[in-house]
């Protein structure tokens, strides 16, 4: 009962805060913020409480595999947006996510090789994302936008943690990384503004995913060795350090634009 209450409270608060901050500072910042493990992090906490540290450490490997799939989503969506609207762009991104996620899951790389591969994929995706000149159009989000995001986020966390015993640790971690919030941001930006705004969200997401990688790499190493408290503290510290570094990089890029 206590973990259910935590799921129903913590997740919408985290997603609501990230959405409001993104509206205040721009689409790329919004994408960068949701690159943090705002969904997968709570899922990892709940899995640790309900299934144990070893299961959660295995799920952390699945989450690292999912980063390559998220990068593929960004590339699939971004390049498809050159030619079509958001529905087909989203479908292409989702197909790319499934293809890359299945490939990395099938390879079952050991932790260090997996982390190195993921970092290479993220750097490559940043370089391969389309670049367009101009600034995105402005738009006022509808009143139901924020509540809908919070409900969707909470539903995903509850569903994934309930399905975890059937899916196993690595597949649970992989599916938890589907870029639900980034895709919502990108789709709404594409539909209400333009493709430039959508790609700005996805480019920000790719930058934010480096902190995601740091979180789950540290968590996978620390959970079995140091326990839940120290493991999550180490993972959070690693994520915040890397997120601060990518913030500086993003500010430099925006200043040069």
Assigned domain for 149 exists? yes
Assigned domain for 78 exists? yes
Assigned domain for 16 exists? no
Instruction: Render pLDDT for 139-157 as a digit per residue (tens, 0 to 9).
Output: 677 777 778 778 877 787 7
27 in Cβ contact with 201 (< 8 Å):
yes
Two structure tokens written together for 226: 């140091």
Instruction: Render pLDDT for 202-213 as a digit per residue (tens, 0 to 9).
Output: 998 999 899 999
* 107 or 134, which is more confident: 107
Residue 149: domain span: 27-256
The residue-averaged pLDDT of 19-45 equals 77
Assigned domain for 19 exists? no
Assigned domain for 15 exists? no
Least confident piece of the model among 29-38, 94-103, 162-171: 162-171
CA separation (Å) from 204 to 36, 219, 246, 257?
A: 11, 23, 10, 14
pLDDT exceeds cutoff 60 at 165: yes
Assigned domain for 8 exists? no
Q: What is the pLDDT of residue 219?
A: 92
For residues 202 and 186, what is the distance between their CA atoms, to the nearest angstrom?
7
Provide the number of structural domains found in the chain: 1
**Cβ atoms < 10 Å from Cβ of 241:** 11
Assigned domain for 84 exists? yes
Assigned domain for 3 exists? no
């Amino acid at each position: 009962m206590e973990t259910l209450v935590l799921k129903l409270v913590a997740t919408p608060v985290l997603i609501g805060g990230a959405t409001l901050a993104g509206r205040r500072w721009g689409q790329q910042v919004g994408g960068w913020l949701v690159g943090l493990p705002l969904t997968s992090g709570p899922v990892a906490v709940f899995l640790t409480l309900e299934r144990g540290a070893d299961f959660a450490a295995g799920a952390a490997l699945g989450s690292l595999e999912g980063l390559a799939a998220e990068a593929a989503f960004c590339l699939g969506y971004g390049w498809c947006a050159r030619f079509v609207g958001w529905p087909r762009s989203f479908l292409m991104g989702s197909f790319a996510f499934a293809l890359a996620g299945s490939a990395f899951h099938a390879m079952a790389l050991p932790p260090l090789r997996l982390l190195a591969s993921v970092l290479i994929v993220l750097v490559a995706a940043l370089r391969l994302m389309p670049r367009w000149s101009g600034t995105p159009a402005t738009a006022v989000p509808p009143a139901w936008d924020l509540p809908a995001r919070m409900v969707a986020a909470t539903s995903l966390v509850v569903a994934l943690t309930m399905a975890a015993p059937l899916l196993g640790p690595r597949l649970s971690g992989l599916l938890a990384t589907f870029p639900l919030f980034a895709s919502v941001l990108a789709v709404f930006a594409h539909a209400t503004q333009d493709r430039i705004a959508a790609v700005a969200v996805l480019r920000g997401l790719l930058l934010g995913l480096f902190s995601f990688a740091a979180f789950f790499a540290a968590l996978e190493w620390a959970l079995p060795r140091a326990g839940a408290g120290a493991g999550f503290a180490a993972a959070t510290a690693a994520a915040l350090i890397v997120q601060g570094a990518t913030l500086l990089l993003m500010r430099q890029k925006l200043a040069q634009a």
